Amino acid sequence: MTTITVLLALTGLVGVAVAGSTLPADVEHALRTEKQLYLATRRADGTPSSKSPVWFMYDGDAVYFTTEPSTYKARRIAKGSDVLVWVGSETGPYFEGKGELLRDPAVAERMAPVYNQKYWIAWLGLFRPRPERVRDGKTLIVKVVPR
């Protein structure tokens, strides 16, 4: 992650385009302004799973969200499934990406202030990424890099 990207995340200007972004303009704009992603993964037979809404952080290069290790999406991403992403709504701007499971509490520390600013309930201390949960293996961070 670049210094500029980290500064954007810390100042709340998350989603400002970073040079080299290959996303269509509508997806880039939606990632900067919307509060939810709707995600699906591919089952073993290649069909997409049901879409599930998640909160997220966008740093200009990738989106990050948390999930529990036992979820189907975590298990499918671990096996190499693509991540299908709709931004803002189930029919919003769309992209596919490569998911990576992260177990780094420092990433959760970077995500927490972004969630605090983006989601009022996170500001109250609820439903935000917690480094101790990542450290204890109760939460995974998923990084999705657009293809």
Chain segment 73-129, per-residue pLDDT in tens: 999 999 999 999 999 999 999 999 999 999 999 999 999 988 888 888 877 776 788
3-state secondary structure string across the chain = CCHHHHHHHHHCCCCCCCCCCCCCHHHHHHHHHCCCEEEEEECCCCCECCCEEECCEECCCCEEEEECCCCHHHHHHHCCCEEEEEECCCCCCEEEEEEEEECCHHHHHHHHHHHHHHCHHHHCCCCCCCHHHHHCCCCEEEEEEEC
Domain encompassing residue 131? 3-146
> pTM above the 0.85 mark?
no
CATH number at residue 29: 2.30.110.10
Report, as an integer, the average pLDDT of 32-54: 97
Given this model, what pLDDT does residue 126 score? 65
Stronger pLDDT, 145 or 10, i.e. the higher one: 145
Q: What's the number of domains the chain is made of?
A: 1
